[in-house]
Structure 1
């Protein structure tokens, strides 16, 4: 198994491989690494890609077992492999069972790569590992994402990324490497011919994320200061023109995470795992965890239930949207104070 923190090694001798996980950037990168390893050994490679949601077993096996007309080595890729494996052949045998049998004796003239964002481990993983590799793509932590941005910017975009700039970029974009790399490309083009990207460049080029907009009201509500919360709501609604629906979502989401954190703590989940699961970063994450420890799961679950009910009433027109938002913010302030 290849955890994402460790660079997987692909060899031309591998006849099957499984790459699964939600990080599309690494999925593409590792596929290219695998193809290059094969090409280095066999020369030009005939690459064939199937959509596992629509292709049948016979088509895949025929492609793998049929020699290329130019005698090139084949790399046959099945995307959405989880869907493909769940389907059944014309008989009673499932595609998964058929792939398990194929893995016992794969052909030498082709390599079969199964790719999926979701995956159910089983006998197939063990069979593939004997003739190739199984690689699970795991999302990077916030800190690792910051380090990745600094390294990626220097290696691929030819620019030095300031650490504070990298931290802000991750806060605004999130942990998707694909999106982060896109923004690094834009930032590099923006500062050219200079080769240093600063925090000010990120502030100028990268807009506030949904989470940052949400945090504008969440941070004030978490303080428990009702007067400050009302003033901030007025500023966001009347001056900054933030959508009322976004602010309502922000407060409801805050109660959801408080409730979930409290329940997870009661169940003995480590704080680090809770942070990762609920995306609790920085001082805000610390504050939510602190409150989750101080309040009971029932208290915070009731608060979340009330928040959902207020949101539903505003959506249905039974309660004025602004009034509902103010009432909910005040209610949260009283609970967390």
Structure 2
């Protein structure tokens, strides 16, 4: 079978753990979660002690095979987890192909390579009698679904859709960091339902609040004040990609509202439907009318241009990163 880790951890149990499992991909949070689910299904409370970890850059196949074939004195099954297994698989591919067709009874071999092409004999054999578990990065809708499910199932809180979107923009897509922020939201908030306001107040400290103060100044046409706030953030060492997360969260919704208004929807209604924070709808309405439709229709393109610049995708005549962001703020303020 082949499943994504987010699905695999919810269905694996002691009877359903196949003799060979490949955890493929670079999202270490999902690798750890999948390995823990396998060990937990087999060993229960003694999961940490039951899992035998081996470094794929150092271990020999004969040692792994011997361990898999040896009956354990302390458990009914053995689980051998070969980490960093790319080179291990490359060196021992024929032996692994033979093993998959006749694995040791009551043992589970877990391999963790970064890549595992599905067109090889080994991959086809594992997919047929074992499991290939994709521990790849999540993005877009799958990431938002994971965030909402983890908030509910692991932390007992409900995360609104807009709150989830803001959290991703502020924190990024690394699951371990997002999970840490969910734990903080659950412990620091008295509310069971976490909305945008709660995320803004609890995630990121004063830097996040300062980012939203900076954006409010832009909407009110106070460009100088916005640049002062940006200077404070930049001098504090706030990473520009993280700062841009707040900018993108707010202005992507304004760009969406612009398109809705262009198609005939009333501006207030468009702002609401685009997900603009309810306390900022009136201010955003005045801002959009002040800068005019032509400037509003350039918002998305300007955000994308700065994103490309910060990622080094456009080096021609490139400004330093902080000046790219400063120029964007002046543009968004409607000053140019």
Report what 1:62 is aligned to. 66
CA gap of 1:206–1:33, structure 2 versus 1, over 3 A, is same
Structural RMSD (CA): 4.8
CA shift, 1:44, in A, is 12
* 1:135-284 matches, cutoff 5 A: 135-192=133-190, 194-207=191-204, 236-237=230-231, 240=232, 242-243=234-235
Q: Is the contact made by 1:157 and 1:184 (CA closer than 8 Å) also made in structure 2?
A: yes
Q: Which secondary structure does the structure 2 equivalent of 1:306 belong to?
A: coil
Q: 1:95 aligns with which of 49, 73, 92?
A: 92
CA gap of 1:303–1:19, structure 2 versus 1, over 3 A, is closer
CA gap of 1:198–1:329, structure 2 versus 1, over 3 A, is closer
Q: Is the contact made by 1:187 and 1:202 (CA closer than 8 Å) also made in structure 2?
A: yes
CA shift, 1:188, in A, is 0.8
* 1:51 maps onto 2:48 in alignment: no
CA gap of 1:205–1:109, structure 2 versus 1, over 3 A, is same
CA shift, 1:156, in A, is 1.5
Report what 1:106 is aligned to. 103
Q: Which secondary structure does the structure 2 equivalent of 1:169 belong to?
A: helix
Tell me the number of residue pairs that the alignment of Structure 1 and Structure 2 aligns.
Answer: 268
Q: Is the contact made by 2:96 and 2:122 (CA closer than 8 Å) also made in structure 1?
A: yes
Q: Summarize deviations over 1:76-99 as a string: whole Å, max 9, x none.
A: 11111113223xxxxxxx222221
Report what 1:34 is aligned to. 38
Report what 1:2 is aligned to. 3
Q: 2:317 aligns with which of 306, 309, 331?
A: 306
Q: 1:287 aligns with which of 285, 300, 306?
A: 300
Q: State the TM-score, normalizing by the size of structure 2.
A: 0.61
Q: Which range moves more in the overlay, 138-147 or 31-40?
A: 31-40
Structure 2: state its 5+ residue gaps: 215-220, 243-275, 277-295, 306-311
CA shift, 1:104, in A, is 2.1
Q: State the TM-score, normalizing by the size of structure 1.
A: 0.61
Structure 1: state its 5+ residue gaps: 87-93, 218-226, 251-281, 293-300, 312-320
CA gap of 1:302–1:69, structure 2 versus 1, over 3 A, is closer
Distance 1:190 1:125 in 2: 45
